[in-house]
Structure 1
Amino acid sequence: MPVTPNSIITPQTPRAWTCVTSTGSGDIDDDPSNVVLLVTAGANGARITGLKSIARATISGMAAHLFLSLDGGTTKRLIRGATLPADTVSTADAPSPYDWGLSEDNPLILAAGALLYVGQGVTLSAGIVHHAEGADY
């Protein structure tokens, strides 16, 4: 969409993104291993207003990391980290999602074409599902 100078640009297209991580990554440098692409921002950027992660098997606490790339995925910079709490998952105990704290009042703003990757600290073969909500500008 063309942008008019000095005009407010509001989110245009509601979006939802999801991915699954399963292999652990201990490195949090600019080229982390075993990270998965979660979000590709639109041509005018994106506004992420929700992000949750939910384990598909029992975990005993685990680090999770968000990486931002502004160069097509070559360089991935750590922008947030979290400790997913221990959670017992069974047929009688549903998994509890971890909320990264993003909201309408506390969004994550991404530049045009920015890429958001997610990684986890240790391998969990059943995986962790990551779900983001927001909108492209």
Structure 2
Amino acid sequence: MPVTQNKVVTPQTPRSSSGVVTGANTNYTDTPTNTVEIFAAGPDGARVSKITAISRQSTGATELQLFRDHNGLGTTRRFFMSKVMPAVAVSTSTGQAPVDFGVSDANPLILAANEKLYGGIGIAGGVVFTVEGANF
């Protein structure tokens, strides 16, 4: 949908996306290793209202990393947010609470046209990142 100047544009298309990160990243430059695309904004941008991560295997405590790819080409991914996931022993008889990055309707993350988000982890494992939002 083309955006009209001087008009309020609200999110149009609800979306959710996810990605699984398995390899460790210890590189905080613009070319991190072992990151996975977890969300891509549409041609008019997007408003992200939730980002969570949960482990799908037992692991020690690890840093969860988020990177922004402002132009959507994947060549420059800038580190901008992280949280710590505590050590977890995945079991069929216990639950685990997803790590919440603090993005919400009251504190949204605004993405430019075609901007992408990537997830990374500090130690190898299996972490599922989930992103909810809407394209403009």
The TM-score, its normalising length taken from structure 2, stands at 0.95
Residue of structure 2 equivalent to 1:68: 68
> Structure 1 residue 57: deviation in Å?
1.5
Provide the rounded CA distance (Å) in 2 between the counterparts of 1:2 and 1:46: 14
Provide the rounded CA distance (Å) in 1 between the counterparts of 2:5 and 2:97: 44
Please list, as runs of the form range in 1=range in 2, the aligned pairs for 1:1-137 lying within 5 A after superposition: 1-71=1-71, 72-124=73-125, 127-137=126-136
Provide the rounded CA distance (Å) in 1 between the counterparts of 2:104 and 2:85: 19
Provide the rounded CA distance (Å) in 2 between the counterparts of 1:58 and 1:101: 24
Deviations 1:103-127 (A, max 9, x none): 1001110000001101000111xx1
- Which amino acid is 1:99 matched to? D
Query: Secondary structure, in 3 states, of the residue corresponding to 2:44?
Result: coil
- Which amino acid is 2:118 matched to? Y
Query: Secondary structure, in 3 states, of the residue corresponding to 1:63?
Result: strand
Provide the rounded CA distance (Å) in 1 between the counterparts of 2:120 and 2:103: 18
Tell me which moved more, 14-23 or 86-95.
86-95
> Structure 1 residue 88: deviation in Å?
2.2
- Which amino acid is 2:40 matched to? T
Tell me which moved more, 52-61 or 5-14.
52-61
Deviations 1:84-111 (A, max 9, x none): 1122211211232111111100111000
> Structure 1 residue 2: deviation in Å?
1.5
Residues matched between the structures, number: 135
Instruction: Report % sequence identity.
Output: 40
Q: List runs of 5+ in structure 1 lacking aligned partners.
A: none
Q: Aligned-residue CA RMSD in angstroms?
A: 0.9
Provide the rounded CA distance (Å) in 2 between the counterparts of 1:94 and 1:56: 11
Deviations 1:12-45 (A, max 9, x none): 0000001100111111110000000011100100
